[in-house]
Amino acid sequence: MLWIYGGAFRTGSSKYSNFGPEFLLDKGVVVVTFNYRLDGLIPGNAGLKDQTAAIRWVYNHISLFGGNPEEVTIFGQSAGGASVGYQLLYKPNTGYFRGAILQSGSPLSSFSFMGDISARAYAFNLASCINGNVDLQNNTSSLVEFLLNSTGREIDKASTLTTVTSRPLPVIELDTEDAFFTKQSYESLMTGDFIKIPILIGTTSEEDIYSTSDLQSYEEKFEQYKKKHLKFIPEGFHVKNGSDSNIVGEEIYQLYFENVSSNNSLGYFVRYNSDNKYSKPIIKHADLASNYTDVYFYIFSYDGLMGNWNITVPGADLVGHGEDDRYLWAVLSSTYTNYDLSKFPESDITTHERMLTIWTNFAKYLNPTPDGDLFANVTWPKVKPNDFSYVDIGTNLEVKRNPKSPYYAEWTKIYDQYNQRPFTIF
């Protein structure tokens, strides 16, 4: 099992204190983690190409560590989940892994794509933040030479000062021999232009609840959105010619807030942000991929002490971004650890065991629930076109249909009616 960590393509690492493999190793798998270049320094796909190199190294060498190169599963969370999706879109990866797990991230996620921001403009902006007096005459060759002669520390410091964007992300490249990503992600998934292997993909029940840790800022943001409904239009949504942006914004507002009480309205703003940034692109990824390959979908809704989150907002669900990781990995920090399982309630331990078994079963058998009492005789259904069944991982495992209903279906209608094709993100 080859892990790709998250961190918005800007931060993160595979350090042992964050991703201790002990729990997974106890299930009889070989675990590999690695580091990759982060695009906080300069936009592009260098980090994705590093991941590809790691995937190929594992394929070529894992037998020396007791692994089987023909049974590699790649998995990741957040930007790591999006990275797994990007590796599936990179057709030269065919044959290097046979399964993939995408946790809370997809190439369809707005946080995984540079979008309308010019990578070229950012690179020149970065150079000017390193040396405000340099005159590159808008010449890319001069820009490349200047950046190559700048130190890593200079580039890192300058990346915190840029004005074009503070968060450079993967970009669509020119279709050259060494290009990684050259087509719109949505269109590739829709047409089956990706590596068709089984995937396990899902989201937590309320991804953006973690953002309410700064409740005052969250409330202030909500007030801005209420005053201007255009703000509800997603990033990367290009309104068709002839369509009225005000109508689009109003439809999205009404979708979440019609007949919602004032006591619950902030919670429904959390729902909107969870769906917009996380759930809808992940569900759409599963929906599109299910036309071509085996797809198993989950929502992680178990709210336990091990998840290490205790903020609630009336109207919102409870389980936020990254809580699922704490049921898989051994974590040791100054504020939290899950090494001593005796400190957690029995239901947490049961969920911890279920998560580990589901993830490692998928790696071993390409099926998350082949058998076992731990699953209470639940057989995990595959997502089918026009029949979106999934498993809710709560206190119990429960098969359900149509995740994030009615919101996902309505989002699909809004995109189809008002967004200009081709799509990259969703």
Residues annotated as catalytic are 78
Considering just the CA atoms, what is the radius of gyration of the chain in Å?
A: 22
Nearest partner of 298 among 269, 272, 327, judged by Cα:
327
Q: Give the strand pairing for 99-103 and 199-204.
A: parallel
> What pairs with residue 261 in β-bridges?
none
Distances in Å between the alpha carbon of 239 and those of 229, 285, 412, 420?
14, 21, 14, 6
SS3 category, 2: strand
Task: Indicate the DSSP class of residue 375.
Answer: G
| Strand residues in 43-160 grouped as ranges (E) | 73-77, 99-103
Give the DSSP H/E element, type plus range, for residue 200.
strand 199-204
Q: Are the C-beta atoms of 40 and 69 separated by less than 8 Å?
A: no
SS3 category, 341: helix
Residue that has been written with the tokens 């906080």 in this structure: 40
Q: Give CA–CA dist 308/139, Å, rounded.
A: 50
Angle at which helices 215-227 and 265-274 pack, to 10 degrees? 90
Question: Which residues have C-beta within 8 Å of that of residue 310, sequence separation ≥ 6?
Answer: none
Residue 119 corresponds to which tokens in the numbers above? Answer: 């990578």
Residue that has been written with the tokens 């790691």 in this structure: 54
